[in-house]
């Protein structure tokens, strides 16, 4: 009888582990982008944080740049302080409006403040890696701190390094998060990313990138291009953020998205 119970225990353990592995491939991401904080007004951010905290099964929240529209220590301090109320791990990257090196707020200062407020920014650097439920999430940095402008830039050297990273994780499903889309803006070419053709051609060498999540364009656009699902989310100033559900098995990945209006307080 004891041997039977022992065998039953191990059988149930194996079944439990198998179920956990199958669920480990489902990932829910909340994306907030282009909050454009100014005058230390974080009322919308606070309402957004409260709304996100009501959602179920969120694995991570990503803030994909242009967190401020007026660069200042005070603005960013108020913003980061409001984000601390989130109940889910969150990660923050910069956009062109967040940086001005000659004004004393370059990438180093940006990352230092983020690292001070949250334990979730890896190594305090502009580009970093997060491993989440079997996925590799690459946070990439195309912002220019010395010459402000409305378009991002990924140098040949930067793309070469990204190419090596993707080779390293060739057996993993990879999600790329960056402020700047690799698609064309429908009517504002000044917002297009420099060197994006070189970037896109490099991605064709890999089959492990499933999606690129970005903001910047202040519009909602999603396109499937060369095996990669490009997700562009509107600015939070339109009172919206996006929920991204990624479901995978060994052979197939399915991505569902939904725009959500922030439930504001009456």
**Per-residue pLDDT tens digits for 172-225:** 999 999 999 999 999 999 999 999 999 999 999 999 999 999 999 999 999 999
Residue 8 pLDDT greater than 60, yes or no: no
Residue 119 banded pLDDT, cuts 50, 70, 90: confident
Answering whether pTM is above 0.85, one says yes
Give the domain range for residue 257. Answer: 26-261
Return the minimum-mean-pLDDT range out of 22-26, 43-47, 234-238, 239-243.
22-26
Mean pLDDT of the chain: 89
**pLDDT higher at 23 or 29:** 29
Residue 20 pLDDT = 39
Rounded to 5 degrees, φ, ψ at 245 are: -110, 125
Residue 97 is assigned to a structural domain of this protein: yes
The total domain count for the chain is 1
| CATH code where residue 80 lies | 3.60.21.10
d(CA 3, CA 236): 60
* 8 A C-beta contact, residue 60 and residue 29: yes
Average pLDDT, integer, range 256-260: 97
Residue 156 is assigned to a structural domain of this protein: yes
Residue 27 pLDDT greater than 50, yes or no: yes
d(CA 141, CA 125): 10
Residue 266 is assigned to a structural domain of this protein: no
* 8 A C-beta contact, residue 182 and residue 196: yes
Residue 46 banded pLDDT, cuts 50, 70, 90: very high
Give ∠ CA 72-78-83 in degrees, rounded to 5. 125
Residue 137 is assigned to a structural domain of this protein: yes
Residue 225 is assigned to a structural domain of this protein: yes
* 8 A C-beta contact, residue 76 and residue 97: no
* 120 CB-near residues (< 8 Å, 6+ apart): 89, 90, 91
Residue 9 banded pLDDT, cuts 50, 70, 90: very low
Residue 96 is assigned to a structural domain of this protein: yes
Residue 265 pLDDT = 60
Give the pair of three-digit tokens for residue 83.
């984000």
Residue 147 pLDDT greater than 60, yes or no: yes
Q: What is the 3-state secondary structure (H, E, C) of the chain?
A: CHHHHHHHHHHHHHHHHHHHHHHCCEEEEEEECCCCECCCCCHHHHHHHHHHCCCCCCCEEEEECCCECCCCHHHHHHHHHHHCCCCCCEEEECCHHHCEHHHCECHHHHHHHHHHHCCCCHHHCCCEEEEECCEEEEECCCCCCCCCCCCCECCHHHHHHHHHHHHHCCCCEEEEECCCCCCCCCCCHHHCCECHHHHHHHHCCCCCEEEEEECCCCCCEEEEECCEEEEECCCHHHCEEEEEEEEECCCCEEEEEEEEECCCCC
Residue 3 is assigned to a structural domain of this protein: no
Give the pair of three-digit tokens for residue 239.
């009172």
């Amino acid at each position: 009888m004891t041997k039977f119970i022992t065998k039953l225990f191990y059988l149930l353990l194996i079944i439990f582990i198998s179920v956990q592995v199958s669920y480990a491939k489902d990932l829910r991401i909340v994306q907030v982008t282009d909050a454009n904080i100014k005058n230390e007004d974080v009322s919308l951010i606070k309402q957004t944080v409260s709304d996100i905290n009501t959602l179920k099964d969120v694995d991570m929240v990503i803030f994909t740049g242009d967190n401020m529209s007026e660069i200042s220590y005070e603005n960013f301090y108020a913003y980061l302080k409001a984000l601390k109320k989130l109940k889910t791990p969150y990660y923050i990257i910069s956009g062109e409006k967040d940086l001005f090196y000659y004004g004393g707020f370059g990438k180093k200062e940006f990352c230092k403040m983020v690292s001070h407020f949250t334990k979730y920014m890896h190594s305090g650097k502009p580009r970093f890696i997060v491993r989440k439920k079997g996925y590799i999430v690459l946070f990439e940095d195309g912002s220019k701190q010395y010459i402000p402008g409305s378009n991002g830039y990924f140098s040949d050297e930067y793309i070469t390094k990204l190419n090596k990273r993707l080779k390293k994780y060739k057996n993993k499903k990879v999600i790329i998060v960056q402020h700047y889309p690799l698609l064309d803006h429908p009517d504002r070419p000044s917002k297009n990313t420099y060197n994006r053709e070189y970037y896109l051609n490099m991605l064709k060498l890999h089959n492990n990138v499933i999606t690129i999540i970005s903001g910047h364009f202040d519009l909602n656009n999603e396109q499937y291009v060369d095996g990669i699902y490009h997700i562009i989310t509107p600015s939070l100033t339109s009172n919206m953020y996006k929920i991204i559900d990624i479901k995978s098995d060994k052979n197939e990945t399915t991505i569902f998205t939904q725009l959500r209006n922030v439930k504001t307080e009456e």
